A and B are shown apart, each in its own frame.
Chain A
Amino acid sequence: MRERKTNKVLFVILLVLLFFSLIPLFLTFLTSVIPDGDLFHITQGKTFLDFEKGLMFQKAKMKVTGTKDYKQSDISNGNGKSLYFNPKSSERDIELVVFMLGKDINLINYIEFDIDINPGAKLRIGVKDMNDNTQYSEKAVSFEKEGWHKFRFNIDTSEFDKVDPKNTSQIILKFEFPEDVPNSFYIDEVFAKYHFPTFINFKTVWEENDFARYIFNSSLVSITVVLGNLIFCSMVAYAFARKQFRGKEVLFSIILSTMMIPPQVIVIPIFILMKNIGWIDTYQALIVPSLVTPFGIFFMRQYIEQLPLELDKAAFVDGATDWQIFTKIILPLSKPAMAVLGINSFIGVWNDLFMPLILVSKHEMWTVQVGLANFSQLNQVQWPSMMAASTIAGLPIIIVFLIFQKQIISGVVDGAVKY
């Protein structure tokens, strides 16, 4: 009874711990599908214009062309203020230009505003990109209602094929007044609703970066290194675990020592070395030095040492060579350790940033992590695209983990006590 209660408590603790462990994964994925914001802010929409503040502050957000006769007005849909246009009767085309600061308009679901305009007036949408190309929509929509009402429209980016919709500097609301329609109007609360959740970030990241190539590079390097580690580290570890020779512990200490030197101090000599053998910008440079790692040797050694010696001895008596003992007995028994070593080497190489950044320059040689690192710009990070890229970069690791983990987890269950 009491045991069951402690079990329950432990189970809850586990759940809570698991929850906290998974938060970063969850945040990474969540942020990759938001239209704007960062890990802790989901921006689902934005008020482009609201006329509560004086016209001075509007100049950072909008401008008007086609007339000079407009002002802040106390009349509005609800409380507060609106913008009142009272142009000369000759001014029939009035443009309200909203500054977009480089926003991707693919993210906008719809734009909405409050308006009081004479029926018969028309609205045409224009988009201007960062390179000063402007394009207006083919069709204009007519206003039909009298008095204050909300008006909503969608931006169909396929209509704007002559501008770059990913990098817009302006959205232009062009109000067109036919001859017989009076051209004064009020407008307020221009609001954009973004798509949420959205997969546009993935699309943009995939289109603008050569992630297929980065993943290929990283996979090639990682898989080779994993294979190398599995074979070579086990070999070296076998010698340390099963053989006696002079200077064994000194040699092992040297291996350990190489783990203890921070990579920051050996990066220059490694670069010089790679340059002299002409390996800068090659796969070899990223693969060969990691084929045997001190971690792998150390880890496999302690694991093999724990395997029962009797099996080796029996095989030896039967006339097996060392290589046969190693491949037929030690390796099969070391599966769980090999699985951990495999996961560990894969993650280590896949996530390594320092060496690839130094040893690789050419774009076609970039690894996934180099690609990711180049997402940060001076003092600013585009979180949604960066997290979409991180998700793409993280998926292969999760797949590899799921492949290897069976070896670790299923084995434990077999060997464990069943209460």
Chain B
Amino acid sequence: MTYKNKQKWVIFLFLSPWLIIFAIFGAYPIIYSFITSLTDYSGLNPSMNFVGLDNYIRAFQDEVFLKALTNTIIFVIGTIPFTLGIALFLAILLNNKIPLQNLFKSGFFLPSVISMVVISTMWIYIYSSSGLVNTILKSIGVTVQDRSWLARPESALISIMIMDVWAAFGYYLLLFFAGLQNIPAQLYEAARIDGASKTQIAFKITIPMLKPTLFFVIALNTIRSFQIFSEIYTMTGGGPSNSTQTIVHYLYQTSFRKFQMGYGSAMAYILLAIILLITLVQKRMLRSDFV
């Protein structure tokens, strides 16, 4: 066997766990749901008629879908900078020696282990008409409407965004910690000897060295944010008047509540195209080292 051929086998061997699992459990559901997206399948009735790209065209004529798309984009753009900004800031801060360092590191992550139901319920209360936000605002003399912040179309989405930033940053903090491990200590030593300040070290060494991690974290957060579902499902159900409707929530409703599986699947593939495009652009921008 030539070296080259041998290498091919080695690569194949290393890739095989994924190839096998994907072939058995990944490919079929994806192909099935893609084919469904080209039909008028309801889910309750086995009949499937091929309708071509009708479902895809329909989506872009569907006011609610467009609204859901807009909301999802607002959500993604509005949360990612804050979630990752806070996480990055804390990661760099905690990378220094400060009192109670280890407590902070575990403490920020622990909320991620709590089920979303508890977190949602807590925030529903915070935002409710007699809840924490309104109580605080009233006590400092602001006149507020006695309505839940989640019941008002103008504030519902942003309320969920705030909650989401709060609930997610601890998780990304942990990913940053892992990335920070990979920065050689000598670099810091050298910078310190050169008399660099903490801020300079952060911007000149830590952040540039974190770039691959940053790409990963941004891509991951983008993918997850575009798929936001459970917060919407438990807190608003997409209301009021679709002001918190997101793509995944809408496609879920369409598939499982209005029994239009075909149309629902089409939305999923539109979403896939959008996320994939954005991720590839991010890759270009943040990882010039590979194509």
Contact = CB atoms under 8 A, between A and B. Distances in A.
Interface of A: 7, 10-11, 14, 17-18, 20-25, 27-28, 39-40, 231-232, 235-236, 238-239, 243, 245, 249, 251, 253, 255-262, 264-266, 268-270, 272-273, 288-289, 291-292, 295, 297-299, 302-303, 305-307, 322, 326, 336-337, 339-340, 343, 347, 351, 369, 372, 387, 390, 393-394, 397-398, 401-402, 405, 408-409, 411-419
Mostly, the A contact residues are helix
B95 to A, nearest CB: 5
B227 interface: yes
Contact of A243 (B11, B33, B36): B11
Contacts of A417: 95-96, 185, 188-189, 191-192, 201
A416 B95 contact: yes
A236 B43 CA distance: 36
B169 to A, nearest CB: 9
B229 interface: yes
B236 to A, nearest CB: 17
A412 B98 CA distance: 13
Interface of B: 7-8, 10-11, 14-15, 17-18, 21-22, 24-26, 28-30, 32-33, 36, 43, 90, 93-99, 101-115, 118-119, 121-122, 125, 166, 170, 174-175, 177-185, 188-189, 191-192, 198, 201, 212-213, 215-216, 219-220, 223, 226-227, 229, 248, 251-252, 255-256, 261, 264-265, 268, 271-272, 275-276, 279-280, 290-291
Of the candidates A243, A249, A412, the one having the most CB atoms from chain B within 10 angstroms of its own CB is A412
Contacts of B104: 14, 18
Given A299-B216, A397-B113, A265 B255 contact: yes
B113 A394 contact: yes
Contact of A408 (B14, B32, B98, B177): B177
Contacts, number: 247
A22 B28 contact: no
A144 to B, nearest CB: 47
A232 B18 contact: yes
19 contacts: A7-B98, A24-B111, A24-B118, A25-B110, A39-B125, A257-B276, A258-B30, A265-B268, A273-B28, A298-B220, A303-B213, A337-B181, A340-B175, A340-B177, A394-B113, A398-B110, A401-B106, A413-B101, A415-B185
B181 A408 contact: yes
Nearest to A336: B181
A265 B201 CA distance: 46
A22 B170 CA distance: 11
Nearest to B287: A302
Contacts of B248: 262, 264
A273 B29 contact: yes
